[in-house]
Amino acid sequence: MCGIAGITDTPNVSVSLYWALYALQHRGQESAGIFTYDGKSVQKHKGYGLVSEVFNGPILESLAGKTGIGHVRYPTTGGSKPENIQPFHFMFRGHVLSLVHNGNLVNTNELRYEYEGRGHIFSTTSDTEVIAAILANEIIHDHTPDEAVSYCMRMIRGSYAVIFMLDGILYAFRDPLGIKPLCLGKIENGGFILASESVALDSVGAIFVRDVVPGESVRLEDGTVYSRKMMKAKSCAHCVFEYIYFARADSIIDGVSVYDVRRRTGELLAKQAPAIADLISPVPDSGTAAATGYSRESRIPFREALIKNRYTGRTFIMPSQEKREIAVRMKLNPVRGHIKDKSVVLVDDSIVRGTTSKKILSLVREFGAKEIHLRIASPQIIAPCYLGTDFPTRRELIASKKSVAEVEKEIQATSLAHISLEGLIEAIGIPREDLCLGCLTGKYPVAIEGEEEEKRGISMVDSYSCPAKL
């Protein structure tokens, strides 16, 4: 679940990309990178760390140009290796290709094997390089960029939102199920921005134009958006975890306000799983909107029992369980006066492995809470995610092998309840058939060996729209 951005026709584009990536920092905290095109060549800088740690004024000044792409990484495929830090850059037959990708391919190994058989040498272990290899191979064989994208989308399977620069021109395409988000904005000075979430548009003062449609390819050139519908599906499969946890609360993803979804989950939780308590408190920050909804519906006062240290990252997306556990105490500290001898409802977004929840409840209990009722704004996560979220095996998921009552006992909660699947779908407001619910149901929108598939009827189309001035 990385964050990507691309900006074109904007002076000092590196600064705008910096702020866009800063707004997307919640999507990946391991590494960051910005590449720009100065009219002759690509200027590059990337490294481990947060956006503010990887870049400074002199570095941004060195990244000249009006067009560029950027990436913040949270590793799922390929592991935590320096060579896997994006963007990626390739030179071939007089062309320069730079590329960023958010998503997870499920047929990476077979595609690598095929292209290695053709003589391609891979320098990373990331599925993103497979996408680049397919595009480059098609362009080498005299296909247009549109044709290369079309062929690439036929070959790859899984989740993907891709932005790439080819000889200084910006392109993007999104998987036909719309699993990963991608939106388009218009910058005041005449340029355009593509980004994972609308908050990146806000950060540079851009006006939201629209979401990139699932299965669509776009080219941004000379102040014009060229659009081509490459693939279509009978229904989409928007990632439900974007609304549960990953997206920033102030984002709008595929026309839906993330904050409103989370608030509604809290309201429905209060109806489905009421509790007698003195206060409602979020597990900050991803539980905050749901806690306000729970408080509003239950009429139990909202009060923060836990204060977040704003200078720590998101514990779920840290690369190891040991780091997640250490980070909990660094990240959260109870307000003793709010919870001592009180019955507390803690509202959180999800339980994945259970270890973080257990430590949070232990902290609150240590500071004197009489009762701790844990309310979760998502159903139980029972199955792996193959499409970009870091819970890859059932063994890691506490709910895959334990009932709610057993989890309640293990984490030592007074009571534990989750929102129902139907309640979550109602809160999101998107039809069930247009959501990817694989982690909650064990049924996936793409074919995965050993797993049950809910087919979406994907097919190629050939519809090229006339250029439209925006």
Catalytic residues: 2
d(CA 131, CA 289): 37
One-letter amino acid of 395: R
Cβ atoms within 10 Å, residue 81 = 11
Tokens in use for 179?
A: 């699993």
Query: Hunting for tokens 């003062």 — which residue is that?
Result: 205
- Three-state DSSP class for residue 183: strand
Beta bridge partners of 186: 192, 207
Closest CA to 35 of 23, 24, 49, 21: 21
CB within 8 A of 306, min separation 6: which ones? 281, 282, 283, 284, 332, 333, 334, 335, 346, 360, 363, 364
d(CA 310, CA 121): 43
CB within 8 A of 77, min separation 6: which ones? 104, 105, 108, 125, 126, 127
Tokens in use for 382?
A: 């029972």
Which ranges of 24-64 would DSSP assign to H, the alpha helix?
Answer: 51-54, 57-62
d(CA 71, CA 94): 25
Question: Cα–Cα–Cα angle for 250, 329, 395, nearest 5°?
Answer: 80
Residue 230: phi and psi, rounded to 5, are -90, -40
Closest CA to 250 of 283, 213, 288: 288
